[in-house]
Structure 1
Amino acid sequence: MTEPTPRFLPRRIVSGGQTGVDRAGLEAAIAVGIEHGGWCPKGRLSEDGSIPSRYDLVETDSADYPVRTEQNVIDSDATLILYESRLKGGSLLTRRLASRWQKPLLCLKLEAAHPAELRAWIDQMRPATLNVAGPRESTSPGIQQRSLEFLLQALAPPTSP
């Protein structure tokens, strides 16, 4: 019996720490045992108050969300946007910034995506640092849990046949 081919895993996952997809990315990194981090607004600002200290994020000099969004795109090798319905707000900005900085980008509509799509993209792109972005919890209730489950499936080690 042959051993399954090891999957490529990013060395680090970063996000801005907002509720929703950002935190799902950080939680997925913690769960699979890889580094996590990224930039967050000054004061660790998020829609639910202060971003929990368990997330190893660095504050920008600005409380404006777009500042940390751009810095996370710049500091990453590739960006993943998970979304539902359509891209809007900060997710749309993230897509524009990835294009501006010529960074690889994958946008996946959660309800239509399969973890194998993300798995194949990661294996092809091989980003050492992956930026994970998408809607906040208040605009897409439940997206944090759905995104976390999706990311854990995509990042899970291969199973033996």
Structure 2
Amino acid sequence: MTTLITAIRSGGQTGVDRGALDAARAAGVPIEGWCPAEGWAEDRPEAPGLLADYPELRETPSPEPAQRTEWNVRDSDVTLIISPDTEPGSSTGSPGTALTKDLASSLSRPVRTVGKGDIEDIVEWLRNQGTELTVNIAGPRESEWPGAYEASYRIVSGLLRLSAGDQPSTPA
């Protein structure tokens, strides 16, 4: 049997990005991604920034988060956006999340936005995209959506648990 998710990619910003990276680490799934030059993040503005905790990430030449966002979408098979914006009356107003959606469309990359979402439906969507996927996880910063880290960690952990059924079994 083939592997559904081979890596989780994210830019390491507070909130959704870090929740996804930490969930993948806890599950033993490789993490990767692009981050702004010098590892900039809203809570880690000075070098080495978030790279001190996530050395698997690589720096873009630009300190601007937009380049990181574009390269993470470009270098992934699919993008999953975790955001409360899917729920009626809820909006983070996250410019980075809006940019991610636009870039996925312009780069012709599959993208899906989920809120609390049914994990089984998300796994089914991923299965329809192929196997051995590098999944870019994106969404609002913690300052834009308090609780983003916890929501992302829960959703990505669930995805990785459910998709583990697609992993090859070891012979007895």
Shorter-chain TM range is 0.7 to 0.9
SS at match of 1:139: coil
Aligned residue type for 2:134: T
**2:126 corresponding residue in structure 1:** 122
> Which of 105, 111, 122 lines up with 1:105 in the alignment?
111
Separation in structure 2 between the aligned mates of residue 147 and residue 43 of structure 1, nearest angstrom: 24
Q: What does residue 38 of structure 1 align with?
A: 33
How far 1:8 sits from its partner (Å)? 4.3
- What is residue 142 of structure 1 aligned with on the other side? 147
User: How big is the shift at 1:7?
Assistant: 8.2
Q: Superposed, which structure 2 residues align to 1:16-55 within 5 Å?
A: 16-49=11-44, 50-55=49-54
Question: Higher mean Cα deviation, 115-124 or 63-72?
Answer: 115-124
Alignment-mate amino acid for residue 135 of structure 2:
L
**Cα displacement (A) at 1:123:** 1.6
Tell me the TM-score normalized by structure 2: 0.82
For normalisation by structure 1, the TM-score amounts to 0.87
Distance 2:159 2:30 in 1: 17
Q: What percentage of residue pairs aligned between the two structures are identical?
A: 39
Of 132, 140, 144 in structure 1, the residue corresponding to residue 137 of structure 2 is 132
Structure 1: stretches of 5+ with no match in the other structure: 1-5
* Residues 10-63 of structure 1: CA deviation (Å, up to 9, x unaligned): 111111100011111111211221110100000100011121523210000110
The one-letter code sitting in structure 2 at the alignment partner of 1:51 is L
Alignment deviations for residues 88-109 of structure 1 (CA, whole Å, 9 cap, x no partner): 3100100000000000111112
Unaligned stretches of 5+ residues in structure 2: 85-89, 166-172
Residues in 2 aligned to 1:132 and 1:122: alpha-carbon distance in whole angstroms: 13
Letter of the structure 2 residue corresponding to residue 66 of structure 1:
A
State the match for 1:92 in structure 2.
98
Q: Which residue of 2 aligns with 1:70?
A: 70
1:72/1:94 CA distance change after superposition, 3 Å: same
Rounded to whole Å, the distance in 1 between the matches of 2:15 and 2:70 is 18
Whole-angstrom CA distance in 1 between matches of 2:3 and 2:32: 19
Contact 1:8-1:123 at 8 Å conserved across structures: no
Contact 1:8 1:122 (C-alpha < 8 Å) held by counterparts:
no
Residues 7 and 91 (structure 1), Cα distance of their counterparts in 2 relative to 1, 3 Å cut: farther
CA distance in 1, matches of 2:156, 2:118: 10
